[in-house]
Amino acid sequence: MRKLLPFFCMLMISATTALGQYVIVTMRADSSSVSVGASTTLHVYAQVVPAQRSTSERIFSWYVDFINDAPAVAQADYTQLLKPTSDKNPQTSSFGTTEGANRRGIHDTFINDSPTSKSGTGVNTPVELFSVPIQAIDVGQARFHVAIGTTASGLAADFIVAPQGGGNPLIGGIYDAANAAVGTVPSAACTPTLLDAYTKLGTGENKITLTFTPCPGRTQVVEYSDKISPASWLALPNGPHNSGTASDTNVVKMRFYRVRIN
């Protein structure tokens, strides 16, 4: 196998470098639907375009951004971002930096790949660049996409493909399929149970503190009624009570409470 140039040299694009779109980037989610409060994982892959596979040795390096198009619906946990196949050399790689809901400048290499045939990483089969878990925080549709890398100084190309037998590298990626949509739905299993704590105040009043485990992404209001049949439910002050806590001060002998979930 030929000796590859150091990473920083490969990124100095010359006039003879083949510029175009030579790597197809794709994204998929483990699940296309996830309940609010639950998580799924997104996976990003890359593969050399069909016309160049017979003459390509490997994807040599990659450099992309991960974009969250709907941060109010779902959030990515970048602390759990994984790069399962790349070199992860601190001198030639980065897990990127967070910018709002996005992750910029994720990059790495496949310098240490040792192909057993004429073609290696990302040529005949897609290679996973990275994965990141996302959590649904509200009902809707979460959208994500991958774009050309930014913010990392000194990097001049999103993808570099090393050709077999040496020669000029191929530069550039195709991002048409580098997107994923995940539907987020209400959590059907969420059924809060009200717990109460009673305190007798010196003024003759009663203080009731009510607690429950809130349903993520839902609106919860604690209501009361002084009779159960027929009931006349009224919301306690300071709602909605999405924190899972509400209180009521009253002078009545009996009062009923419930949680209304929207």
Domain-terminating residue out of 185, 219, 251: 185
Q: Mean pLDDT, to the nearest integer, of 211-220?
A: 84
**To which residue do tokens 């996830």 refer?**
34
> pLDDT tens digits, residue range 63-76?
999 999 999 999 99
**8: pLDDT strictly greater than 50:** no
Is the Cα dihedral 156, 13, 48, 62 positive or negative?
Answer: negative
Residue 257: partners with Cβ closer than 8 Å, 6 or more residues away: 194, 196, 208, 210, 222, 223, 224, 248
Q: Is 77 found in the same domain as 34?
A: yes
Q: Is residue 1 in some structural domain?
A: no
Percent of the chain with pLDDT over 90: 68
Q: Is 170 found in the same domain as 86?
A: yes
> pLDDT tens digits, residue range 136-158?
988 899 999 999 999 998 898 99
Q: Is 202 found in the same domain as 139?
A: no
What token pair was written down for 49?
């375009």
Q: Is residue 240 in some structural domain?
A: yes
Domain that holds residue 173: 7-185
Provide the domain count of the chain: 2
Q: Is the Cβ–Cβ distance between 167 and 33 less than 8 Å? A: no
Q: Is residue 248 in some structural domain?
A: yes
Q: How far apart are the first and last CA of the chain?
A: 63
Q: Is 139 found in the same domain as 216?
A: no
The Cα-based distances of 25 to 3, 17, 119, 177, 215 in angstroms read: 26, 21, 18, 6, 36
Q: Is residue 232 in some structural domain?
A: yes
Q: Is 81 found in the same domain as 175?
A: yes
CATH number reported for the structural domain that contains residue 160 in this entry: 2.60.40.680
Question: How many Cβ atoms are within 10 Å of 251's Cβ, its own excluded?
Answer: 9
Name the residue among 85, 72, 181 with its Cα closest to residue 131.
85
Q: Which residues of 201-219 are buried (b: 16+ CB within 10 A; e: fewer)?
A: eeeeebebebbbebbbbbe
Q: Is 180 found in the same domain as 97?
A: yes
Q: Is the Cβ–Cβ distance between 147 and 25 less than 8 Å? A: no
Q: Is 25 found in the same domain as 82?
A: yes
Q: Is residue 190 in some structural domain?
A: no
Q: Is 206 found in the same domain as 126?
A: no
Q: Is 152 found in the same domain as 62?
A: yes
| Residue 115 pLDDT grade (very low, low, confident, very high; cuts 50, 70, 90) | low
What token pair was written down for 12?
């100095």
